[in-house]
A and B are shown apart, each in its own frame.
Chain A
Amino acid sequence: MAASSPTARPDAEGMRLSAPRKGRGKAPRRSRRDAIAGRVFTLPVLLVTIAFVAYPIVYGIGLSFFETNLVNRWEFVGLDNYAKLTRDASFLDSIATTFAFAALVVAGNLIIGTIFAMLLNRGLRFTTFFRVVLILPWLFPEVVVALLWKWMYNPIYGLFNSELQSAGITDQPIAWLDDPNLALFAVAVACIWKGYPLVMVLVLAGLQTIPNELYEAASLDRAGWWGKFRFVTLPALRPVLLAVMVLETAWWFKHFTIVWLLTSGGPAGATNVVSIDIYTRAFKNFQWGDAAATAVVVLVITLLLSGIYQKVLNRDED
């Protein structure tokens, strides 16, 4: 299928990560020359990826079997670092926090990004203006996003409290980042603000590939907006959503900068996501073995999650 398919059909194929695609119906004698051409064209990417992805990851996995400060202490400890992690309450807490954080941000990005995309796709007037405005947060460096929100959350000089108080909604300033129950949400809101535009752009692009005929057919069947959404939009968006979910989950599961700058993991560990844990182990304590083992655990978790997504989202298709 697909490679020879003449139309831009939104199918799940681009996102199927490891399944090699079926033949293109060419004569077999060409396949060897094809294979060579294909390899030549992909060679630059392969080389860069091996040098800058395979090497660092293998290096990281290697480190996780050592007790080392990377300079003058290299002690092979086998699986000890992993064994230590299973007993480490702060590590387990940070994994749980990370799941909660990533779930909040990914769900927020998906829901908000999809809603905005659908609204923008209605083709109303001024859409161009709204599109540019709503995309803006994506253009901000993470460092700036974090500082901007920290500045707005500031209990004394910040925007939120000043507005809430002058509107008479609250009479005491709220310390958003101080309350263990609020802090994770407050951090997640800042991350969603930064993260939804990418989802919005991708979903908007996906929406534009849905042929109008499908909606018209649904209208003939007297489908309401929910029916159209459920039976036309969602199925057509499935490949987009799968891609977005896999990438977003991976990105936010290992996210560091915004959380670090907003709370450094506080208050009382409420936002101590696993990347902060890794950073502290590696760069503050020079326990590179522990840090590497933690990173490998994160890699395994994100791999599992992307596997699950693909299973679940591709299931109804067959």
Chain B
Amino acid sequence: MRNRTKLAGTTVGLAFAAMAAGCSSTGSEDSATASVSPDEPVTITVLSGTITEKPDGDVEQAFADAYMAEHPNVTIEYIGVPSNELQTKLAAMASSDTLPDIFFNDPSFAAKSVDLGASADLNGILNADFLGGFEQRGLELASVGDQLVFVPWYSIPTGLIYRTDWFEEAGLTPPTTWDEFTSIAQDLTGDTDGDGNVDRWGVALLGSADLSGAGRFIPILRSFGAEELYEGPDGWETGYDTPGGVAAFQLYGDLVNKYQVTPVGTLSTSYPEAVNFMSTGTTAMMISGSNAIGAILAQNPELEGKLGAVPIPHASGQEPAANLGMGGYSISSTSENPEVAADYLSFIVNKENQVAWSDATGRLPLRTDALEAISAAGGDLAGFVDAIKYGYAPPQAPFYSTILLAGTDAYQKVILGQTSAEDAARGAAQATRSEIENGG
């Protein structure tokens, strides 16, 4: 705060403008502790990226409507922003102290939101009994240090989605190792209509230089026993250039260039493109989060019952890995009604709502009771419930997304044949280390 005045000093002569900015910080001094009486009207604003999605938004809005029917004094007001722009909006709100009561958060933003002082510690707001009903993994990922930053609201664990009908036809079983995976991918690549052109490929590989691409690569990297970023004895370290890391980059290059089991355009294949490949029967497998199943079926309902999922393959001697792909809601540190906000959040994660939500969206809950119900029902999401136990916590470094993008840059270079896997791995590691130096 002290330095804010300093900055204002540099804008001397523009007192009019500076004043305008200055009076933006209206506090909420007396409310944080005051509990709300049941009939006092309260409005809770929620900044959400899911509310603008279809069908996710409709389901979420229905929860809000149900809650408001139960609590006539409460108005739940959603602020919908496409998820790609969420952080832009949040930055603007945070910089002028106008955060909504509840805002969307995820593990990659959690540390930053704490750094910004935006999120309240939920351990003090939600009771311990209720928190005990979450998967332990989920709570760990939603915390920074001892602070619980957000209520886990869904998880999209990484798994391998495959066409059960084609596997059956070819007498294949889902791969558990990467060697099995490549050989199956080759088996399933071919010309199905006999016109001499390959029209079916083994795998829809996400090779785009964005966080979607990284979201697939990192679990694969970890299934080779390498970690992009971890906390060592002397601070942050990277395993991009370990032998496992090199093997992961090599796998990307080989799938595209050596085995040619991916459709053309790998580098601009991001999530929507990959979903299209699956829904049109262009590819047989895809590494993705659980929501992809719903997205594929939405585009092509005929695939109902023809999709299955298992945890992703792994290198020999290693374990599968899954990015839990969690999202959740934080209560902002400036909220005037944190108790009401907390009550609403505990409402949307109750068992009934969570099961309905995951049925509609393919996003898995992190409530133990709801997960058990889904596993017991044995639908196409059940395979993903198995993957949750391999879920890892993305490291909570403020510069983490830069490290992810260093990985995408490197696999693109390997796919393009610009560098060898070794050099690409070295490049990614180097970029990571210099980021650690600058940012840590």
Q: Which residues of A contact B (CB under 8 A)?
A: 50-51, 54-55, 58-59, 61-63, 65-66, 68-76, 84, 153-157, 172-175, 177-180, 263-269, 282-286
The 3 lowest CB-CB distance pairs between A and B, nearest first, are A74-B3, A266-B209, A155-B265
Q: A180-B416, A266-B208 are in contact. Are A72 and B116 (CB under 8 A)?
A: yes
* Pair B268/A178 contact, Cβ less than 8 Å: yes
Surface stretch bound by A, among B62-70, B121-129, B139-147, B397-405: B397-405
Interface residues of B in 398-424 (CB under 8 A from A): 398-399, 401-402, 408-409, 412-413, 416, 418
Chain B positions within 8 Å of A, measured between CB atoms, are 1-4, 6-7, 10-11, 14, 16-18, 87-88, 91, 94-95, 112, 115-118, 208-210, 263-268, 273, 276-277, 282, 398-399, 401-402, 408-409, 412-413, 416, 418, 438
Q: Least Cβ distance of A49 to chain B in Å?
A: 12
Closest to B6 in A: A76
Given A70-B94, A74-B4, A55–B209 Cβ distance below 8 Å? no
Contact check: which of B3, B277, B408 meets A156 at CB < 8 Å?
B277
Instruction: Looking at the assembled complex, report how far the CB atom of A34 sits from the nearest CB atom of chain B, in whole angstroms.
Output: 27
List 20 extra interface pairs beyond A71-B95, A173-B265, A175-B267, CB under 8 A: A59-B7, A72-B117, A74-B2, A74-B7, A76-B6, A154-B268, A156-B265, A156-B277, A156-B282, A177-B268, A178-B267, A180-B416, A263-B268, A266-B209, A266-B412, A283-B87, A283-B91, A284-B87, A285-B399, A286-B112
Q: Decide: B265 and A50 in contact? CB cutoff 8 A.
A: no
- Interface contact A267-B264, CB-CB below 8 Å: no
Contacts of B402 in A (CB 8 A): 285
CB distance from B332 to the nearest CB of A (A): 12
- Asked whether, in the complex, the Cβ of B115 is within 8 Å of the Cβ of A69, the reply is yes
Q: How far is the CA of A153 from the CA of B267 in the complex (A)?
A: 13
Output the nearest chain B residue to A47 by Cβ-Cβ distance: B16
Measured CA separation A265–B208 after assembly (Å)? 11
**B91 contacts A156, CB within 8 Å?**
no
Q: B4's closest neighbor in chain A, by CB?
A: A74
**CA separation between A9 and B50, bound complex, in Å?**
58
| Cβ of A152 to closest chain B Cβ, rounded Å | 13
In the docked arrangement, what's the CA distance between A283 and B112, Å?
A: 11
| A268 CB, nearest partner CB in chain B, Å | 5
Residues of A within 8 A of B282 (CB): 156
Residues in A with CB closer than 8 Å to B95 are 70-71
A55 touches B416 (CB 8 A): no
Report if A51-B412 is in contact (Cβ < 8 Å); known contacts: A71-B117, A267-B267, A284-B401.
Answer: no
- Among A55, A65, A66, the residue within 8 A (CB) of B17 is A55
Task: Give chain A nearest CB distance to B15 CB in angstroms.
Answer: 10
Residues of B within 8 A of A51 (CB): 16-17
CB distance from B390 to the nearest CB of A (A): 28
Residues of chain B within 8 A (CB-CB) of A282 are: 91
Kindly state the separation between the CA atoms of A69 and B401 in the bound complex, as whole angstroms: 16
Residue in A55, A62, A84, A284 whose Cβ sees the most chain B Cβ within 10 Å: A284
A59 to B282, CA, bound (A): 52
A172, B11: Cβ atoms closer than 8 Å: no
Among A175, A284, A285, which residue has its beta carbon within 8 angstroms of that of B264? Answer: A175
Q: Are B264 and A155 in contact (CB under 8 A)?
A: yes
* A91→B333 CA distance, assembly (Å): 35
In the complex, which of the residues B2, B10, B210 contacts A264, with contact meaning CB atoms closer than 8 Å? B210
CB A69 to nearest CB in B, in angstroms, measures 6
In contact, B10 and A268 (Cβ under 8 angstroms): no
Listed by A's residue number, 13 A-B pairs whose Cβ atoms lie within 8 Å are A50-B17, A62-B11, A63-B7, A70-B95, A72-B1, A72-B116, A154-B273, A156-B264, A157-B276, A266-B267, A268-B412, A285-B401, A286-B115
Instruction: Report the bound CA distance from A68 to B112 in whole Å.
Output: 13
Which chain A residue lies CB-closest to B413? A268
Q: Cβ of A173 and Cβ of B264 under 8 Å apart?
A: yes
List the A side residues contacting B112 at CB < 8 Å: 286
Partner of A65, one of B4, B10, B88, B209: B10
A74 surroundings in chain B (CB, below 8 A): 1-4, 6-7
Q: How far is the CA of A67 from the CA of B268 in the complex (A)?
A: 35
Q: Please give, as numbers and ranges, the residues of chain A lying within 8 Å of B408 by CB-CB distance.
A: 266
**What residues of chain A lie closer than 8 Å to B273, measured between beta carbons?**
154, 156
Shortest distance between the CB of B425 and any CB in chain A (Å): 15
Determine the chain B residues whose CB is within 8 A of the CB of A264 once the complex forms.
208-210
The smallest beta-carbon distance between A272 and chain B, in angstroms, is 9
* A73-B401 Cα distance, complex, nearest whole Å: 20
- Whether B91 and A286, one on each chain, are in contact in the complex, defined by CB atoms closer than 8 angstroms, is yes
A173 proximity list for chain B (CB < 8 A): 264-265
Bound-complex Cα distance A54 to B267 (A)? 42
Q: Is the CB of B268 within 8 A of A175?
A: yes
Q: Which residue of B lies closest to A281 (CB)?
A: B402
Residues of chain A contacted by B4 (CB below 8 angstroms): 74
Contacts of A175 in B (CB 8 A): 264-268
Q: Is the CB of B265 within 8 A of A178?
A: yes
**Distance between Cα atoms of A70 and B16 in the complex (Å):** 20
Question: CB < 8 Å: which of A62, A69, A84, A174 contacts B7?
Answer: A62
Closest to A69 in B: B116
Contact present for A71 and B94 (CB under 8 Å): yes
* A304–B309 alpha-carbon span in the complex (Å): 57
Contacts of B14 in A (CB 8 A): 50, 54-55, 58
List chain A residues, Cβ under 8 A from B210: 264, 266
The answer to whether B7 and A172 touch across the interface, beta carbons within 8 angstroms, is no
B174 → A minimal CB distance (Å): 26
* Bound-complex Cα distance A66 to B95 (A): 15
Contact of A155 among B10, B116, B268, B438 (CB under 8 A): B268
